[in-house]
Amino acid sequence: MSLVNVNNVSKKYGNQFALKNLSLELEEKGQYAILGASGSGKSTLLYLLGGLDKPDQGEIEVDGLSLSKLDDQEMADYRNTKIGFIFQFHFLLPSINCMKNILLPAEIGGHKVGPVKKQALELADYLGISQCLKKFPYELSGGEQQRVNIVRALSLKPQILLCDEPTGNLDSENSQKVTLLLQKLSLEFQSTLAVVTHDPSVAQRFQQKFVLKDGQLLEAQRAPDAAPPPPAPEN
């Protein structure tokens, strides 16, 4: 059964459609690339899926919830409990250290911080950034900040992990590494993964792709010859 149903969704900015009559489905625990040129509507789709914005027309249902029917508080709860976001730019708060950045969504959402901190410590160890947690974001390299961002997004074990050009400022080798890492982590956390990218070499690592053009779904591909999903990590 589909976890996410996007039904005939349109979103306009001024006179221009960012998304036009778009429908697609995401399966629970599926891994998807959303590919398209700049301006094709990828980020708009991701923001709508993540409850950061609402469509002008159509409906998005996630796990039986109709997002358009949620009030502001329910939408905040939806984002906080179901969604992990990873953006190209990290949006780490500069005035607090990395662990405090990681714990912030849990604190805002009223979760118990202890288990989240334990989870974050394990993930940081796995990603090799334990030594970064007491540092401030400006003391870290771009790659380290990206990993802190990944720990923050995963520390509440989100059902859906939404990534907006997560490899946008990385060279091609590191792009492939981060893509593989996101795939491994989403498998381990049993999260549905959607990665927005303009880079076909990132998209080709996914068996399932949605290609957008001018706010419309150009094609949905399920490629048998795509790179296979990575094995689940042992630890």
Q: Which residues bind ligand ADP (CB under 6 A)?
A: 13, 16, 18, 36, 38-44
Q: Residue 4 or residue 18: which is nearer to ligand ADP going by CB? A: 18
Least distance (Å) between residue 23 CB and ligand ADP: 17
Least distance (Å) between residue 231 CB and ligand ADP: 31
Burial class (CB in 10 A: 0-12, 13-18, 19+), 221: middle
Strands, E assignment, the chain: 2-13, 16-27, 31-35, 57-62, 65-66, 83-87, 160-164, 192-197, 208-213, 216-222
Q: Residue 38 or residue 73: which is nearer to ligand ADP going by CB? A: 38
Rg (CA), the chain: 17
Q: Residue 41 or residue 51: which is nearer to ligand ADP going by CB? A: 41
Q: Residue 44 or residue 159: which is nearer to ligand ADP going by CB? A: 44
Least distance (Å) between residue 39 CB and ligand ADP: 4
Least distance (Å) between residue 160 CB and ligand ADP: 18
Task: Render the burial of 10-41: b for 16+ CB within 10 Å, e for the rest.
Answer: bbeeeeebbbbebebebeeebbbbbbbeeebb
Q: Residue 17 or residue 126: which is nearer to ligand ADP going by CB? A: 17
Least distance (Å) between residue 38 CB and ligand ADP: 4
